[in-house]
Amino acid sequence: MTTSQHIENTMPTACAAPTDLQAVVFDVDGTLADTERDGHRVAFNRAFARFGLPWEWSVATYGELLAVTGGKERIRHFAARQAPQWLERPDGGAWLAGLHQLKSEIYGELVRAGTIALRPGVARLIGELRGAGVRLAIATTTTRSSLDSLLLSSLGDDAQSLFEVIGAGDVVAHKKPAPDIYHWVLQRLQLPPQACLAVEDSQPGILAASAAGLPTLITVNAYTAADDFSGALSVLSDLGEPGQPAKRLAGQALDGDCVDLAQLRRWQQTAVNTLNRRQAACLATS
């Protein structure tokens, strides 16, 4: 069974009760797929070569640059240190936009070639959530064109319809770790943050989601394994598959081999109960 068939066979059958988890908001790069090292980094380097730039981002260098969220922001940050004359030209803004656009096109070509796969458990969990009527959304700094390429390649022709709200690219002024993208998504879902759960992979991601009030699950990757994930519901190696257990690295226990809807609901309810106790304690002392 293909990924798209798996998801189509688990279409909504019932809506979640108001007190249940109502929506899950996914980050993309590093969370849905390991896109950074062998996707975005490669695309940046090929774009640099086509623009005649003597830049080559190694695996280690790119890992450092991930502290800067957003592709255009990453190029601007690097250029400001290595070759500020490119940014100081009268057409510096157009140059930067053109370079990033080329990078996005190259990334799309890499994705369509099938070089980037979804991480373990992603398709399974999306299918289960969809089948249970849990609403799905995306909150990412990646461009919409790059996102669409990944979704189409990984989840099939109906991939975009799986996600009710897609916050991507420059829809907000301030990118992660600012919470703006999560506020944008929550506003369109018309849900309070406590009724949602975010799935992230990095420190900027959890800072953004937590600042917006969303309980957050972390699935690390090679670039983010050493990040500080204080406040996460749980920190895992991945979402896991039956027979391919996810490894818990920190936070609350994983009851079984993999993350499923029942597990997400238990974690989310624990977060809600903790918040309610804190609010009650504040009221009692005010």
Report how far residue 8's alpha carbon sits from residue 20's, in angstroms, rounded to the nearest whole number: 23
Q: What is the mean pLDDT of the chain?
A: 91
pLDDT tens track for 166-175:
999 889 999 9
Given a cut of 50, whether residue 3 has pLDDT beyond it is no
Band (pLDDT 50/70/90 cuts) for residue 19 is low
Given a cut of 90, whether residue 84 has pLDDT beyond it is yes
Given a cut of 50, whether residue 34 has pLDDT beyond it is yes
35-44, 193-202, 260-269, 270-279: segment of lowest average pLDDT:
270-279
Given a cut of 70, whether residue 245 has pLDDT beyond it is yes
- Other CB atoms within a 10 A radius of the CB of residue 3 amount to 18
Helix axis angle for 92-112 and 144-155, nearest 10°, is 0
Q: How many Cα atoms occupy the beta-carbon half-sphere of 66 within 13 Å?
A: 24
CA quadruple 258, 261, 264, 265: dihedral, nearest 10? -140
Residues 6+ apart with CB under 8 A from 237: 219, 220, 246, 247, 249
The residue behind tokens 């977060």 is 271
pLDDT at 6: 44
What is the chain's Cα-based Rg? 19
Report how far residue 215's alpha carbon sits from residue 12's, in angstroms, rounded to the nearest whole number: 24
Given a cut of 70, whether residue 178 has pLDDT beyond it is yes
Does residue 41 contact residue 55 with C-beta atoms inside 8 Å?
no
Using the 8-state DSSP alphabet, how is residue 172 labeled? S
Q: Which of 199, 158, 191 is nearest to 10 (CA)?
A: 158
Given a cut of 60, whether residue 86 has pLDDT beyond it is yes
Residues 6+ apart with CB under 8 A from 27: 138, 139, 140, 198, 199, 200, 201, 202, 205
Report how far residue 11's alpha carbon sits from residue 7's, in angstroms, rounded to the nearest whole number: 7
Report how far residue 63's alpha carbon sits from residue 206's, in angstroms, rounded to the nearest whole number: 17
- More confident site: 236 or 156: 236
Band (pLDDT 50/70/90 cuts) for residue 7 is very low
Given a cut of 50, whether residue 118 has pLDDT beyond it is yes
Report how far residue 49's alpha carbon sits from residue 235's, in angstroms, rounded to the nearest whole number: 38
5-14, 65-74, 218-227, 236-245: segment of lowest average pLDDT:
5-14
In this prediction, residues 58-79 reach a mean pLDDT of: 94
Q: How many Cα atoms occupy the beta-carbon half-sphere of 97 within 13 Å?
A: 6
Mind telling me the catalytic residues?
27, 29
Cα angle value 233/201/261 (rounded, 5°):
50
Residue 240 in tokens: 């896991």
Helix residue ranges per DSSP H, the chain: 3-8, 41-50, 59-65, 71-82, 85-88, 92-112, 122-131, 144-155, 159-162, 180-189, 203-211, 261-285
Does residue 187 contact residue 158 with C-beta atoms inside 8 Å?
no
Reduced to 3 states (helix: H, G, I; strand: E, B; else coil), residue 212 is: coil
Band (pLDDT 50/70/90 cuts) for residue 18 is very low
In this prediction, residues 221-230 reach a mean pLDDT of: 94
pLDDT at 186: 97
